[in-house]
DNA sequence: TCTCTAATTTGACAGAGATCTATATACGAG
DNA sequence: CTCGTATATAGATCTCTGTCAAATTAGAGA
């Protein structure tokens, strides 16, 4: 039933766009950057939301219906709804209502930014000895 | 009692080592994995800790003294100490006392694991329409 | 030994967050 | 329009977390 619509690239993020990609091991984060980035990690700093994000990202068609998600947890629907809202407000996912059901898909660019931030700057800072 | 320091080698992590690398957009995280991974993100889900991690990672020599870190914030020493403890317990950093001062360095393998988990599955969902 | 400085631990408190029940909204089918 | 199902919001509660002041531990030097 979910109509597949591939929410591809579309970098229309609310975070400051391309101010993104220097890994935090390359140059020190200033306070403003840290304040902007921390909420992204806070959004996935919960097992339920991590699984939600993964379930949505892996779902065929690139999107998942809330009904698919709710059954995967031993939690009430309002709780799932709450977690989805947190993920959405962080910009990690987006949603649309189509008829009776609501569909969610991930925003890959935000995920990419977070991944890049943590990337270990290959040649740096290894070996404590 | 503060004998727990152990300037151990690198991967002395409590997480299951190399069970790491499938990005969460590739296959759905199960509950156990999510429970194990969420605390890693929780550890960096705070602006102060994000900056601490970055300051430590970028510091020359690959390690930083607590005294270097404390002055970078408008927070008391106990608060910084608390945040360092959170990062250390998550396995993101390690520390050693040398003489009067305590030094911290990052554990790159844990950071790498987190980065890989969020990596947007190169070949997936990225394909330009 | 005593004292000074670096860092951590303890205890307290305010604010944030996860979950539930109950209620409300949105839509489709009769 | 009315009813039933799918989501979302509101409010309450209990727990977790960030911060500070005060006390404690650890090492260097006199």
All structural domains of chain A, each given as residue ranges with its CATH number in brackets, are: 47-118 (1.10.10.10)
Which helix (H) or strand (E) segment holds residue A97: the answer is strand A93-98
Give the full edge-to-edge strand order of the sheet including A63-65: A63-65, A101-106, A93-98
| Nearest Cα to Cα of residue A9 among A126, A110, A122 | A110
Q: Rounded to whole angstroms, how far apart are CA atoms B49 and A111?
A: 20
- Tell whether the model's pLDDT for residue A13 goes beyond 60: no
**Total H helices, total E strands in chain A:** 5, 3
Query: With contact defined as beta carbons under 8 Å apart, do B19 and B28 qualify?
Result: no
The region that residue A78 occupies, defined by phi over 0 for left and psi between -120 and 50 for alpha, beta otherwise, is alpha
CA A79, C1' C22: Å apart? 14
Query: Closest-CA residue in chain B for A74?
Result: B31
* Cα A106–Cα A83–Cα B44 angle in degrees, nearest 5: 80
Q: What pLDDT score does B112 carry?
A: 94
pLDDT digits (tens, 9 = 90+) for B10-62: 333 334 434 445 688 888 999 999 999 999 999 999 999 999 999 999 999 99
- Phi first, then psi, for residue A107 (nearest 5°) are -105, 95
Q: A37 and B28 in contact by Cβ < 8 A?
A: no
Query: With contact defined as beta carbons under 8 Å apart, do A106 and A88 qualify?
Result: no
| Nearest Cα to Cα of residue B24 among B116, B122, B123, B92 | B116
Query: With contact defined as beta carbons under 8 Å apart, do B20 and A27 qualify?
Result: no
Q: Which residues pair with A97 in a beta bridge?
A: A102
Q: What is the distance in angstroms between the Cα of A99 and the nearest Cα belonging to chain B?
A: 25
Q: Which residues of A touch B10 (CB under 8 A)?
A: 128
pLDDT digits (tens, 9 = 90+) for A58-91: 999 999 999 999 999 999 999 999 999 999 999 9
The pLDDT-based confidence of A122 (bands split at 50, 70, 90) is low
Number of CB atoms found within 10 A of residue B25's CB: 24
| Contact, B46 CB vs strand D, < 7 Å | yes
Residue found under tokens 């209502």:
A97
Q: Rounded to whole angstroms, how far apart are CA atoms A61 and A67?
A: 15
Q: Which residues of B touch A50 (CB under 8 A)?
A: 24, 29, 34, 37-38, 41
- Tell whether the model's pLDDT for residue A21 goes beyond 90: no
Q: Which residues of B touch A37 (CB under 8 A)?
A: 47, 50
Q: Between the CA of residue A51 and those of A87, A91, B30, B33, B70, what are the distances in Å?
A: 11, 16, 7, 9, 36
Nucleotides of D under 7 A from a protein CB: 4-11, 17-23, 25-28
* DSSP type of residue A14: S
ipTM above 0.90, yes or no: no
| Nearest Cα to Cα of residue B50 among B86, B23, B13, B75 | B86
CA B66, C1' C12: Å apart? 25
CA A76, C1' D16: Å apart? 21
Q: What pLDDT score does A85 carry?
A: 98
């Amino acid at each position: 039933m979910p109509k597949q619509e591939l929410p591809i690239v579309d970098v229309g993020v609310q975070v400051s766009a391309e101010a993104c990609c220097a890994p935090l091991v390359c140059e020190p984060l200033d306070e403003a950057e840290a304040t902007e980035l921390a909420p992204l990690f806070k959004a996935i700093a919960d097992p339920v939301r991590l699984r939600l994000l993964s379930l949505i990202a892996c779902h065929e068609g690139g999107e998942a219906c809330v009904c698919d998600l709710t059954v995967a947890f031993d939690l009430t629907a309002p709780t799932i709804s709450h977690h989805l809202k947190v993920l959405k407000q962080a910009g990690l996912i987006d949603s649309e209502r189509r008829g009776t059901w609501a569909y969610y898909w991930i925003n890959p660019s935000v995920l990419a930014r977070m991944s890049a931030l943590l990337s270990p700057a290959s040649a740096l800072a290894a070996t404590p000895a």
